[in-house]
Structure 1
Amino acid sequence: MRKALSLLIVLPLVAAATLSAQTATGMISGTVTDESGAVVPSAILTVTNKATGNARTLTANEDGLYSAPALPAGEYEVRAEMQGFRTEVRAAQVLAGSSTTVNMALSVGATQEVVNVEAAMAQINFDSYTVAGSIERQTIQEMPLNGRSFLQLGTLEPGVQVVTGAQGARNAPIQISILGGATNVSFTTNSTLLTLDGLSLMDMLDGGNTDLNFSQEMVQEFQITSLNFDLGTGITALGAVNIVSRSGGNDFHGSGFYFYRDHNMAAYPALKRSAQNPNPYFARKNPGFYISGPIKKDRAFFFFNFENTDQVQAVTFQPDLASIQPLANNYLSPARYHYRNVRFDYRFSDRHTAFLRYTHDGNVVFGPETGQPSVPSAWVNLHNWSDQFALGVTSTLTPNFVNDFRLGWRMWSNKEDPPGLSQCQPPCVNPNGPGTTLVGSSVFSSGVTITALQRRIARHYETQDTVSWQK
């Protein structure tokens, strides 16, 4: 058993702009001026989340500057009002870890008159040398992905590599590397950092990316930072991936899917062909759905996601000695992955909001140990169970002082057992016998491996607090 506790406190002083950070929230900031370009101090600004109706009211300072930090990613409306001027309304998009500049230019007129202006997007931050990019929900939803792993989209950013994990890998169907950062390499710290809603997903036992996998349906967006990290990024040497989960809103949304693919539709290219077995067996079934909406309008919201993957593929064993040529075969390796996610958001008042999320990843795989070719008697039954609870509370203590608190608990349980007699596919060699290798062969092993009958469990507790203050 292993326990870990980490604490991060970030205290940025925010003026006209803020440094981009590897955080789960974003910011809207800007300047209020009149038609001549003169600043308009004391203008009242209201920043409203279009999905949930959550609103934050601000007052521009003496220089006409305003800032709304710690905003969840999404679509917003910014409204500026001042006596003697028309009300101006602008749409704005907030991305995690980014600042969106929304400058308001008020024209003389009655406050009851409303001027709507085109949407503002997240801007290039000239005050930061951070190299980062974001993949938004629309891209995740519309891009075709083999295996439905959103991390594959990381290759859209420079310096990012994505590798499909081996069937026998411990909870690592997808591994991501930034600028050569190690991924799922035992006992290394030179790894690419992954966070979900600001909380770490790092593999606590083997090192590398993550021991928690989840459906792409629950991902709102993710940000990749490759160079020049700030304090909000956390501990990493080679890149960071900041993932934000989806939440519900005032409207109901949902969709379902069922994907099926087998060797009759698409040949599996990695398998060795032979005259006896020219088209090795492969089948993949992938059902799932999500649903989200209000529990109470403008007050409470939910998001729920369910996804299963049931896959049977063949693993090729190609002998390298004449004496074991009869063992050449494509052996069946089944794998089942189960992803569940539920999130609740609640608005206590215009000043205090909170969310609670539970994410589950459970999978069972029968296959060879990663990087160890062998016949099925030396394979292992892998049972992985990974959970994360996340709590977030955002408090607007004053219009220019915002506190964002995160608390996380994560558990990973890994169990490895030797195969049963029914799983030792013919020709069955040395079932339940001692681990055996052959002199002169780099691929043959049989019998119970040294990692079988293994039990591991790790628990990780994490707290994080970010304070934003505008002078």
Structure 2
Amino acid sequence: MARYVCVSLILFALVISVPLVFAQTSASLSGVVHDPSGAVIPGASVTLTEPTKNLKLQTLTTDDGLFTFPALQPGNYSVSVEMAGFKTVVKNGIILETNQKQSAGTFVLEVGEVSSTVQVTADSGQLQVKTRTGEQAEVVTGRQVRELAINGRNYLDLVKVVPGVVSTGNYQVAGPGGFGDISINGTRTNQHNLTIDGATNVDAGSNGTQHVALNMDAIEEFQVLTSNYQAEYGRSGGGEIKITSRSGTKDFHGTTYLFHRHEGMNANQFFNTAGLDNKSRPLYRYNYFGYNLGGPVKLPKNLLKDKLFFFWAQEWHKQLVPRAAPQQVRMPTTAEVSGDFSLTRDGDGNLIT
């Protein structure tokens, strides 16, 4: 009994937390349904599906023929519209990005049997035309994040592929720094914000560093809002960088990896070999290794089957970062180690008494 109560409380906490998380990074999808004459069709049944997460949502068109699905996560969706006396229309390939307000366009139902289906593929060019908002944003998808050759596995390096963004940061070394080296559309380097799943990840004391550095394999989407974004992003006057973390799917998937960098794979500098001393290559050793695993949560009696997912990722960094100049450190003498400081001198050479 106690175990059942504990499981029930955990599930309840997960259920009430889902809307809060969705509200921070969610997208929305809307559209309108017409008949062949152009008149709106109220009361049509609209079904939204996302196969990888086994998601299925339903709604009805309003008196104006409109439908809306709020609080959606990034993904590849399909919309099906049914109405008695009309053929069913299915539109596939509707891609939603983080926090995007997307229009699925107009669904024109042809007269016929409901059992007849008209398959339509969403026009990618039409989806790029923003009719619901005037904000300017660029998105780097999760696949691009994982496949782009990012030298130091620092996601801030991704801003360099976004138009209007100037970055002077050197992100060859992992860590939370470098946030103060970014300027978006000419704004100051301390005037932008970065959120992970809707929570601010910027040190408010300096506006130049982050609290945590997220593992790149745990990123679902990386989005940069450069201008004309909505009032809800009111913390900073510059751009808004939004990161959405990955989720599991109905199938188990995992990855292990090692990213290795070593001076033995680098060419030596010209002036190191031009002289008589023939200097060796500078030390350059970085090892980033980790794993991730995602999939469905298996509960007794198939409870919440294909509706509850998990994703877990860990990464470790072992890196050698040599100093640009030698550092002198004074080591204790044998007498000092034994507790005798009678011959110890200060920085000016005077005996310490």
Q: TM-score range by the shorter chain?
A: 0.7 to 0.9
Structure 1 residues 117 and 57, CA gap change in structure 2 (3 angstroms): same
* Number of the residue aligned with 1:303: 311
1:50-69 matches, within 5 Å, as 50-69=51-70
Paired residue for 2:157?
A: 152
Structure 2: which 5+ residue stretches go unaligned? Answer: 1-22, 299-304, 333-344, 349-353
How far apart in 2 are the matches of 1:99 and 1:128? 7
Q: Equivalent residue for 2:223?
A: 223
TM-score (norm 2): 0.76
In 1, are the aligned partners of 2:286 and 2:317 still within 8 Å (CA)? Answer: yes
Figure out how many residues of one structure are paired with residues of the other and give that number: 299
Corresponding position of 2:323: 315
Residue 181 of structure 1 and its aligned partner are, at CA, apart by 4.5
Partner of 1:200: 200
Structure 2 residue aligned with 1:256:
256
| 3-state SS in 1 of match to 2:158 | helix
Give the TM-score taking structure 1 as reference length: 0.58
- Number of the residue aligned with 1:105: 108
SS at match of 1:220: strand
Residue 293 of structure 1, aligned match among 289, 292, 295: 295
For residues 268 and 245 of structure 1, the distance between their equivalents in structure 2, rounded to whole angstroms, comes to 39
Q: Which moved more, 1:117-126 or 1:298-307?
A: 117-126
Partner residue, 1:325 = none
Rg comparison, structure with higher value:
2
Structure 1 Cα separation of the partners of residues 215 and 346 of structure 2: 39
Cα distance change of structure 1 residues 209 and 111 upon mapping to structure 2, 3 Å threshold: farther
Q: Closer, same or farther in 2 for the Cα pair 1:107/1:209, shift >3 Å?
A: farther
- Who is 1:444 aligned against? none
* Bigger relative CO (Cα 8 Å, ≥ 6 apart): 1
Structure 1 residue 96: Cα displacement: 1.1
Aligned-partner Cα distance in 2 for 1:49–1:170 = 35
Q: 1:25-77 deviations in whole A, cap 9, x for unaligned?
A: 11111111123332211111111222212222111111211111211111112
8 Å Cα contact 2:136/2:225 also seen in 1: yes
Provide the secondary structure at the position in 2 that maps to 1:286. Answer: strand
Partner letter of residue 227 of structure 2?
L
The alignment yields a C-alpha RMSD, in angstroms, of 3.0
- Amino acid across the alignment from 1:300: L
Q: CA deviation at 1:116?
A: 1.8
Aligned partner (choices 136, 142, 147) of residue 137 of structure 1 = 142
In 2, the alpha carbon distance for the partners of 1:109 and 1:234 equals: 50
1:294 maps to amino acid:
P
Q: 2-side partners of 1:181 and 1:420: how far apart?
A: 48
Q: Counterpart in 2 of 1:12?
A: none
Partner SS state of residue 315, structure 1: coil
Instruction: Give the number of the structure whose residues are more often strand, by fraction.
Output: 1
Q: 1:316 to 1:435 in 2, by over 3 A?
A: farther
C-alpha change, 1:251 and 1:119, in structure 2 (3 Å) is farther
Contact 1:90 1:120 (C-alpha < 8 Å) held by counterparts: no
Q: Secondary structure at the match of 2:52?
A: coil
1:279–1:26 distance in 2 versus 1, CA, 3 Å: same
Shift of 1:107: 1.6
Q: Which amino acid aligns with 1:118?
A: T
Off by >4 Å, runs of 4+ in structure 1 = 180-183, 271-274, 433-436
